[in-house]
Structure 1
Amino acid sequence: MARVLVVMMPAEGHINPTLGIIKELIENGDEVVYCCTEKYRTKIEALGAQFKAYSFNEATLLNNPDMKPFEIKHPYQFLYMVLKKIIQRFIPDVLNLIENETYDYLVFDSLIGWGGQILGEKLGIPAVCSTTTFVFVEPLGLGNQLKDDDEEVKELYNGIMEMSKQLASQFNVAVPSLAELSGHPGQLKIVYTSRYFQPMGDKLDDSFVFTGPSITPRKDAPSFANESLHAVYKQAVYISMGTILNKDLDFYKLCFTAFRDLPVQFILSSGKDTDLEPIADLIPDNFIIRPYLPQLEVLQGVDAFLTHAGMNSTSEALYYNVPLVLLPLTSDQPRVAGRVQELGAGVIVDKNNLTPDVLRNAVLEVLGNASYKEHAEVIGKTLRDAGGYKQAAMAIKNFMGKQSLSATPISSFE
């Protein structure tokens, strides 16, 4: 039996893909200690894992403007964000939580970046990276607006170099090179997509294991009768902007204007903390609105999905062969949306040119052209065939078996 430390970022899109793996590891006899914010304690402990909470609370994290998603215009912006806003804040907390404890291996969130390597080195254990978005074969932000000779970029570079030296000294580890900071930490990388869907997937070596989405039942999700989706109209469209970017009432009003006259059932997940009262009188008759929905179940009953192009939501839709209308807003979402459109499974609408006509035409295009559904089915098959959380757990088990063999003295085989 192995003792496993899991360190994850506090967001549904990072937590949910790990749940099936954690359950599988525990059922196989491993002891799992899971570090995250207090909000996720109940969900994690229900799996049988031990839970350790960061020292700061969830409200402090989510209300901090430094932690909000932003558009990355140069790779250095992403590296600086990881160093200053994640590693500098998270790693000391985690090390304090696990002081004087021992573990056999580590599973860490890819967003922690070099911080995962620090934890593995300090604990003296192998590290497995949980990658909830596409692998960045090319750095995030490459080719965007900022150039290397811009003053802002030079300042970022100097800040990265200085901060990495400070952190290396603080944690008593070697100063990383820029290549190490921008590379893919972890001896094994679990990636929750298929090699087919991953851009330039053929350029990645066997340390990247593509397992597809980690689809597991979500016990905290409310029930919903899918038959209501087709009670009045032949077609149904699901609308959700994720769990972080779902409070834009102007966007919801735009949807009401765009879709109120269409003979289509729309179902909108508005967010648990979103107050719709100011626009309640504008809700059309062809809309069903709930603060929170069982997304996996709903996706199995709709004909299209209007989404912010978050990796989890996009993958779950494609897993169930649902074509997409993609409204990427920030972070890696433009890249995810671009890949879907490139493979023919959806269309992108520009957040900077969003009108009722643009939105309505995009939805009608996806609903009316069977090729989007056909291409979604192609991607969906590769995601299902990848094996999911069971394959991920097996990959970790095989990896740890090889680690044990390589650490065994030759004399033990005599």
Structure 2
Amino acid sequence: MGKVLVIGFPGEGHVNPSLGIVKELMTQGEKVVYYGIEDYAEKIRKSGAEFREYEDFRPSLDMSNRMTNEESYDRYEIMNLFLNESENIITKIMSETKHETYDYVLYDYHLLAGSAVADLLQLPKVSLCTTFALNKELATCMMPSGQTEPDQSSFYPQFEKSLNKFNNQYNTQLKDSIDIMSNPGDITLVFTSEFFQPNVSEFTSEYKFIGPSIVKRLDIEDPSYLQNENEKIIFVSMGTIFNQQLEIYNLCVEALKDFEGKVILSIGKNTKPEELAHIPETFVVKQYVPQLEILKCADLFITHGGMNSSSEGLYYDTPLVVIPMAVDQFMVGDRVQELGAGVKLDKNNVSAELIKKTVNDVLTTHTYKQHAQQIGESLRSAGGYKQGVKEIFNVVPVKA
């Protein structure tokens, strides 16, 4: 039985895919210690892992406000803050594990601290990539327009200083933001399929495309509103981080008020149903819904384009209307549209009329469903968390 150190990135779309891997490792006899933030403590403990907390660094980065593509932001300011926060996480974990022994480390692809800890412990390392795998070209596509270049940034000198300090202290060779935000391991498990990954031929064999980690959630309600099997269903959700989108929700209400079926609208914990305009009787509006259960039945998914949500929709062959809010969502929307499984809309130029027309086009043009099924088949056949654990044991010997 091996002992595994897992270092997660804060966010539903990062934590949820990792839990399938964690549960399967424990089924195979491994013992798991999982570092994360308090928000996910209960979920991690339910997986059977020992939870340990590090401080949530997201408030200091203010990511949801900085990266919504509405105005220019200085990426070097963010990267400088991220380097400092990475050091805090490294220091805490190294201090708490100095008298412990582990066999290998799993960490989030976007968490520099995880890679650094694995190197400091001189252990095999497995990176968990819950977005598309990134190279410089794809990382550029992922960033909002107007990001600051070095010669335009007042923060670049401080960033360069912090980067050199980090490299010297941890014997790394980081050169720019792409090196900070993409941290491959001895192998990197990418939670998508080779078919859905853009530019897949540019990635080495150390990248293992295992598809989404679809695991039955333990904290779901019984969706009694799905009992009518003959009813068409549109599901609307803007995810868990960028979900304060009252204007988008109201546009969807207006666009779909005459839809002959059911519209399920998940608005997140930061928006209250009473804040919305008049809600038609055909709508179910909740702050949280069992997303996987709904996507199994949905005919169309209106989404922000988060990798986790989009993959879950496509896994169940559901066509998408993508309204990206930030970061990798723009690239996901582009890829969905490129492969013909849905349509990407610009949130700054969206209207109720456009949403209504787009929904009608996607529902009545059968090729969208066919292409969603093609992607879905590629995701299901990639193997998921069970394949991920096989790949781990191919590089890390199993202890008796």
TM over 0.5: yes
Show the counterpart of 1:412: none
Show the counterpart of 2:221: 222
Letter matched to residue 139 of structure 2: L
Show the counterpart of 1:196: 195
Distance in 1, Cα, partners of 2:269 & 2:179: 39
Show the counterpart of 1:4: 4
Q: Runs of 5+ in structure 1 lacking a partner?
A: 405-414
Distance in 2, Cα, partners of 1:62 & 1:117: 19
Shift of 1:353: 0.4
Picking from 344, 353, 360, the partner of 1:348 is 344
**1:264 corresponds to 2:261:** yes
- The secondary structure found in structure 1 opposite 2:6 is strand
On the 8 A contact 1:256/1:283 being kept in 2, the answer is yes
Letter matched to residue 2 of structure 2: A
Which string of whole-angstrom CA distances, capped at 9 and with x for unpartnered residues, describes residues 325-356 of structure 1? 00001011000110000000000111110111
On the 8 A contact 2:321/2:345 being kept in 1, the answer is yes
**1:393 corresponds to 2:389:** yes
Which string of whole-angstrom CA distances, capped at 9 and with x for unpartnered residues, describes residues 48-78 of structure 1? 2111111x3x5xx554453436157799659
Shift of 1:7: 0.4
Distance in 2, Cα, partners of 1:85 & 1:105: 25
- The secondary structure found in structure 1 opposite 2:216 is coil
Distance in 1, Cα, partners of 2:335 & 2:84: 28
Shift of 1:46: 2.0
Show the counterpart of 2:371: 375
Show the counterpart of 1:15: 15
Shift of 1:237: 0.3
Distance in 1, Cα, partners of 2:147 & 2:9: 30
Task: Tell me the TM-score normalized by structure 2.
Answer: 0.90
Letter matched to residue 373 of structure 2: E
Sort the Cα spacing of 1:350 and 1:85 in 2 relative to 1 into closer, same or farther, 3 A. farther
Show the counterpart of 1:104: 103
Picking from 167, 173, 176, the partner of 2:174 is 176
**1:125 corresponds to 2:142:** no
Shift of 1:249: 1.9
Shift of 1:133: 0.3
Shift of 1:79: 7.9
Which string of whole-angstrom CA distances, capped at 9 and with x for unpartnered residues, describes residues 90-146 of structure 1? 323332332332211110011113x33311121111111100000113252259745
Letter matched to residue 30 of structure 1: E
Letter matched to residue 260 of structure 1: K
Matches within 5 A, 1:6-405: 6-54=6-54, 56=55, 61=57, 63-64=59-60, 66-68=62-64, 70-71=67-68, 77=76, 80=79, 83-84=82-83, 86-113=85-112, 115-137=113-135, 138-141=137-140, 145-146=145-146, 151-153=151-153, 155=154, 157-169=156-168, 171-174=169-172, 176-178=174-176, 180-181=179-180, 184-225=183-224, 227-228=226-227, 230=229, 234-279=231-276, 282-401=278-397
On the 8 A contact 1:5/1:106 being kept in 2, the answer is yes
- The secondary structure found in structure 1 opposite 2:44 is helix
Sort the Cα spacing of 1:86 and 1:226 in 2 relative to 1 into closer, same or farther, 3 A. farther
Sort the Cα spacing of 1:21 and 1:75 in 2 relative to 1 into closer, same or farther, 3 A. farther
- The secondary structure found in structure 1 opposite 2:139 is coil
Could you say which structure has the greater relative contact order, defined with CA pairs below 8 angstroms and 6 or more residues apart? 2
- The secondary structure found in structure 2 opposite 1:44 is helix
Distance in 2, Cα, partners of 1:147 & 1:241: 23
Distance in 2, Cα, partners of 1:65 & 1:77: 11
On the 8 A contact 2:295/2:318 being kept in 1, the answer is yes
Sort the Cα spacing of 1:12 and 1:183 in 2 relative to 1 into closer, same or farther, 3 A. closer
Sort the Cα spacing of 1:187 and 1:65 in 2 relative to 1 into closer, same or farther, 3 A. closer
Shift of 1:258: 1.2
On the 8 A contact 1:238/1:306 being kept in 2, the answer is yes
Show the counterpart of 1:407: none
Sort the Cα spacing of 1:239 and 1:8 in 2 relative to 1 into closer, same or farther, 3 A. same
Sort the Cα spacing of 1:90 and 1:217 in 2 relative to 1 into closer, same or farther, 3 A. same
Count of aligned pairs? 393
Sort the Cα spacing of 1:90 and 1:322 in 2 relative to 1 into closer, same or farther, 3 A. same
- The secondary structure found in structure 2 opposite 1:158 is helix
Shift of 1:205: 1.1
* Moved >3 Å (runs of 4+): 61-65, 71-79, 81-86, 142-150, 155-160, 174-184, 226-231
On the 8 A contact 1:139/1:182 being kept in 2, the answer is no
- For the pair shown, the structure with the greater C-alpha radius of gyration is 1
Distance in 1, Cα, partners of 2:144 & 2:47: 42
State the identity %: 36
Letter matched to residue 264 of structure 2: I
Quote the RMSD (CA, aligned, Å): 2.7
Distance in 2, Cα, partners of 1:146 & 1:256: 32
Which string of whole-angstrom CA distances, capped at 9 and with x for unpartnered residues, describes residues 180-227 of structure 1? 547643111000000110001122111000000000000111111364
Sort the Cα spacing of 1:131 and 1:78 in 2 relative to 1 into closer, same or farther, 3 A. farther
Which string of whole-angstrom CA distances, capped at 9 and with x for unpartnered residues, describes residues 275-327 of structure 1? 22233x61112211122111111001110000000000000000000000000
